[in-house]
Amino acid sequence: MKTMINSVLKSGALAIGLMSASSFASDSIQGTYKAVLRHEATGFYQYALFTLSTVQAGGGTLKISANVRIVYGDWDSNEFLTYDFSDVPMNILTRQISMRDPVNDVSFVGQLGDGEMKGDWYSSSVGRVGSFQALKNADPVPPANRQLVRSV
């Protein structure tokens, strides 16, 4: 069986464990994450849904793709923008994930933890827009003293 090396830093010493590709592709990565996107130059925030999908590409390789829905208004709003990312690289050692595609005007770069993603998001027209936090099994808390971007 193909395996990947998973390095974990424990108590100042580097411990190396082996993990099969199929167990790595389990529910620990794939699924829907609810997110809060912060607009740092303004006093606004937005809700978003990140859907990560994983498939075994063969040879022990895990392929990740993503769909991001940025919502205008509350979670149940029917006004949103959707972005597809067909290839989402993730560093298996650092768990850094990068959602970028030349056809999209936004990108997301962050860390994938246990049921959580957090990092920064960018626009092709203005550069860094702000930070984001996404949770797999809970609703993220909106930032205090910021205003929700409402639907039109």
Residues 142, 140: Cα–Cα separation, whole Å: 6
Average pLDDT, 10 consecutive residues per value, the chain (152 residues):
33 33 58 96 95 87 93 94 96 93 96 95 96 96 90 80
Q: Going by C-beta distance under 8 Å and a sequence separation of 6 or more, which residues neighbour residue 151?
A: 72, 73, 77, 79
Residues 37, 52, 99, 112, CA torsion sign:
positive
Q: How high is the pLDDT of residue 51?
A: 97
Q: How high is the pLDDT of residue 67?
A: 98
User: For the whole model, what pTM was predicted?
Assistant: 0.80
